[in-house]
Each structure stands twice: as structure tokens, then as C-alpha cells.
A and B are shown apart, each in its own frame.
Chain A
Amino acid sequence: MFKLFEPNKIFKITSKAPKYVLFLFIVVLSVGLVEALFISPEDYKQSDAVRIMYVHVPAAWISLGIFSSITLLSICGFVFRNKNFFLISKSLAPSGFVFNIIALVTGSIWGKPTWGTWWAWDARITSMLILAFFYAMYLIVWRIYDKEEKVYKISTFITIIGIINVPIIKYSVDWWNTLHQPASINILSKSSIHSSMLYPLLIMTAAFALFSLLIFLMKYNTELIKIKNKGLDRL
């Protein structure tokens, strides 16, 4: 089954897809920005500061999602002895890292008007910062080591240790008394967020997901061409 997804076979699609994804991203982001900045209502407690949620929450969700995917793909790479899984993981990491930084910075900006401070060593924020370190270590490993097998082993080890932090991030607001508010959106039970705020949030999440797909495709194509460049050297 994995042969269907071999780089040689899917390059035709992955090389053409970015321009369509970019177009779709611009459209969805434009709608999302109008909804988030102008149409959605202000919060009765936080007033207009709540609008920061429309960039902060999707960025946090996607950075967590990408890290979980990287871990799963790295493990699959080892189990199925397939390099393509590692290539996909490596291509996903930069956007995951940037989303993590966006979540931290926008969270800090949101903290000032709501908590009165830019930073607090609160469980949720600290665990998100730790995730950023794991992302950084993962990216650095790919840069500093040349031997593929060594990179695969060390990067997978980092993701396996790092994934322990993901449920801690998710449940930190329930396990400890934190400044951070508990989750307003639940998949299994009724969400406490009103639809007038939920829809813009979902639109912005879709825009962010499209952006990470765009960066993934561009990065994946770059990695494939790098491999082909090495192939030409061997001719």
C-alpha cells in the first residue's frame, strides 16, 4: 500500500498542489479575518480582547496536532522501515514550530489585558514552552547530523519523549489551578462557546490548517529535489 505514496509517484501532485492550496488559504483567511476582527461579537467580560482567541487557539491546536503527527509518523517510519514517513515528519516540523511560537506570543499578548501580565509560569504556558523546545531540538537534529540512520533514531526519540508533554498541555488546566481558562470546546460534550464565536474560530482554524498544508507541500518538494540532487551527483 505504501508504494502508492512513494515520492516518485506523488511528486506530480505535490508539485502542482501548492498554488491551489495557496489560493484557497488566501480566500479562507480573508473570510476568517473579516469574521474575527469585525463580525464576531465582543465578549461580555473580555470585551474586544477576546478576538486574540481567533489566532491564539488555532495556532495552539495545530502545533499540538502536528507534533502528534510527527511522533506517529516517526514511529511508523521505524516500524515499516519506510523513509518517506521521516521525510513527511521533517516537512511538517517547521510549520508546527512556527504555530507553537505564534501560540506563545499571542497568548502573552492576550495575557496582558486579561491577567495583567505578559507571562506567568502557569502549567499550560510552561508546557507549551517545553513543546517549543522539543520542536527546536527536533529541527536542530535534522540540521546537525548527516547520517540518516542516526537522525531517524534521535529525532524519533525526541518525539517520543516530547509526546508525553502533549496530554500534559491538554489537561494542565484541569489538573492544576492555573490562570488559563479551561477548554471551551469539547468534541464529546456540549461546547460552552456561542456559535457566533465558534464559526469564526473554525474558519480561522481551517485557514491555519491550509497554511500548514501549503508549507508542508513546499518543504516536502524541496526535500525530494534535494534527494534527486544527490542522485545526479552519483551518475
Chain B
Amino acid sequence: MINELLFMNGYAVYVLSAFSFTLISFLSLYLVTKMQFVREQNKFAAKFGSLTNEQANSAKSQRINKEILANVTNN
């Protein structure tokens, strides 16, 4: 039964390679996008750490900056 399902009347090699290609493309795109996101987030955290107190307070007045920093600590 399982062999029959996996054999797919001789078309398994085509069907499974199409599905595998799709899933590998998904995984690659996800990983590349995630990597770019984490890299920018870390860059932001490093830059924020090098600011003077006055600059940091000014930057923190923007809600989005606080959100980014909060997410850096969560990841």
C-alpha cells in the first residue's frame, strides 16, 4: 500500500522532485530573508550601543526604535 503510494504509477520521480524543488526553494528563501533580517537587527543594536546618552535618549523617543531593540533581545 505504502509502496504503491510512493511509486505513484511510475511518476513518483517527477512528482517528488517538483515538490522537493518547491520546498527547498521555500526553505532557502526563508533562511536568506531571516539572515538579512537578523543582520540588520544586530547592526542596529551595535550602532545603538555606540551612541552617547543624549543621542540614545533622542533615538529612544521614536517608538519604532524601542520596538526594534525589544525584538533584538527576544531573538
Listed in ascending order, the chain A residues whose CB lies under 8 Å from chain B are: 7-8, 11-12, 15, 33, 36-38, 42, 47-49, 51-52, 55-56, 59, 94-95, 98, 101-102, 105-106, 109-110, 112-113, 211, 214-215, 218-219, 221-222, 224-226, 228-229, 231-233, 235
Query: Which 7 pairs show the lowest CB-CB distances between chains A and B?
Result: A48-B8, A106-B18, A225-B40, A48-B11, A49-B11, A55-B22, A52-B18
* Cα distance, A229 to B72, chains bound together (Å): 14
Listed in ascending order, the chain B residues whose CB lies under 8 Å from chain A are: 5, 8-12, 14-15, 17-19, 21-22, 25-26, 29-30, 33-34, 36-37, 40-41, 43-44, 47-48, 51, 55, 58-59, 62-65, 67-68, 71
Partner among A109, A112, A215, A228 whose Cβ is within 8 Å of the Cβ of B68: A228
* Cα distance, A56 to B68, chains bound together (Å): 37
Beta-carbon contact of A102 and B21 below 8 Å: yes
Partner among B11, B55, B67 whose Cβ is within 8 Å of the Cβ of A12: B67
Chain A min CB distance to B8 (Å): 4
Beta-carbon contact of B22 and A48 below 8 Å: no
Q: A47-B11, A48-B8 are contacts. A105–B29 as well, Cβ < 8 Å?
A: no
Beta-carbon contact of A218 and B37 below 8 Å: yes
* CB neighbours of A101 from chain B (8 A): 25
- With most chain B CB atoms within 10 A of its CB, the pick from A8, A12, A49 is A49
* Cα distance, A52 to B64, chains bound together (Å): 43
- A42, closest chain B residue (CB): B9
Chain B min CB distance to A143 (Å): 13
* Cα distance, A228 to B41, chains bound together (Å): 10
* Cα distance, A224 to B25, chains bound together (Å): 25
Number of A-B contacts (CB under 8 A): 114
Q: A33-B19, A110-B18 are contacts. A48–B26 as well, Cβ < 8 Å?
A: no
- With most chain A CB atoms within 10 A of its CB, the pick from B8, B17, B29, B34 is B29
* CB neighbours of A233 from chain B (8 A): 47
Chain A min CB distance to B30 (Å): 7
Chain B min CB distance to A232 (Å): 5
- B21, closest chain A residue (CB): A105
Q: A11-B64, A110-B14, A224-B64 are contacts. A219–B33 as well, Cβ < 8 Å?
A: yes
Beta-carbon contact of A235 and B55 below 8 Å: yes
Q: A48-B12, A94-B29 are contacts. A232–B18 as well, Cβ < 8 Å?
A: no
Partner among A37, A215, A231 whose Cβ is within 8 Å of the Cβ of B19: A37
* CB neighbours of A232 from chain B (8 A): 44, 47-48, 51, 59
* Cα distance, A198 to B70, chains bound together (Å): 43
- B32, closest chain A residue (CB): A94
Between-chain CB contacts (< 8 Å), 25 pairs: A8-B62, A11-B64, A11-B67, A12-B63, A15-B67, A37-B19, A47-B10, A48-B10, A48-B12, A48-B15, A51-B19, A52-B18, A59-B22, A98-B29, A105-B21, A109-B14, A110-B14, A211-B26, A219-B36, A221-B37, A222-B36, A222-B37, A228-B44, A228-B68, A235-B58
